[in-house]
Copies of this chain bind each other. A is one copy, B any other.
Amino acid sequence: MERGERILEAAGELLVAWGYRRVTIDEIARRARVGKGTVYLHWKTKDALFLAVVLRSKLRSHRSQLARMRTDPLAVLPSRMMSGAYLDFLADPVLRALYHDDADILGRFTDIAKKELAELSAYSNEVVRHYLEVLRAHGLVRADMTVEQQQYALLATASGFFLSEALLHDRAPQSAEERSTVLARTVRGALETSADPDPGTGPAAARTREAAAAAAPDIIPAFERLAELSEREMHRQLRE
């Protein structure tokens, strides 16, 4: 594993274990088996390093999302998309820490991230909007609300599930699969036109599959551009 990668890995592990404030550049360098100065050969500041750590996790999640969409067009459905994103989120300690314990783990880092990632976040907004429009055009998403309202519904609902571990403590179902399934059903009921097309073999399920396959070529590139922007943003944190 190359130096930069080792540093990101070490920073991520320490972030999750100790929280932003408690982690020192010294400690990261030690764990990555490099000199302290070497960290600064790669990243301008501590903030930039941790921003890169977070972007790396987000990027992984995006890529895994894209892989699912390329394998199975049904993965473009909002329900699939969200349950996939939710499972990725649970599997990545950095992303989980991000939502789980804002104050203790992240300290003031959230503010910095919000500011630095404003552009990315705005673009992500547009991608989601475009995504919903395409799905509506293909009859996969209902037209009983405005796109803006559906986007709000999607974001708010997802936030609730993502935060549910922290908010609901033990009142949530134990298994991640079960929670992701409930999320999928909630999103499907809120936005989509079809019943669950996965085990379906009838003509309706076939139609959904076709429509998803037709929509995918419009949707995948948009998310690819989002992933690219994430990656560019991640590299922009590097020195020069």
Contact = CB atoms under 8 A, between A and B. Distances in A.
Interface stretch (A56-64, A163-171, A231-239): A163-171
A159 interface: yes
A156 interface: yes
Q: Indicate the member of A144, A148, A183, A185 with the most B CB atoms within 10 Å.
A: A185
B185 A152 contact: no
Interface stretch (A9-17, A35-43, A65-73, A172-180): A172-180
A160 interface: yes
A79 B122 CA distance: 30
B189 A171 contact: no
A182 B153 contact: yes
B149 A178 contact: yes
Number of copies: 2
Contacts of A159: 159-160, 163-164, 167-168
Nearest to A196: B144
A158 interface: yes
**What interface size band does chain A fall in?**
20 to 34
Given A144-B185, A189-B190, A173 B149 contact: yes
B190 A186 contact: yes
Nearest to A169: B114
A160 B156 contact: yes
A103 interface: yes
A186 B185 contact: no
A39 B151 CA distance: 48
Given A149-B173, A156-B164, A159-B168, 18 more contacts: A103-B103, A145-B182, A145-B185, A149-B178, A149-B181, A149-B182, A152-B171, A152-B172, A155-B160, A155-B164, A156-B167, A159-B160, A159-B164, A160-B161, A160-B163, A186-B189, A189-B189, A189-B190
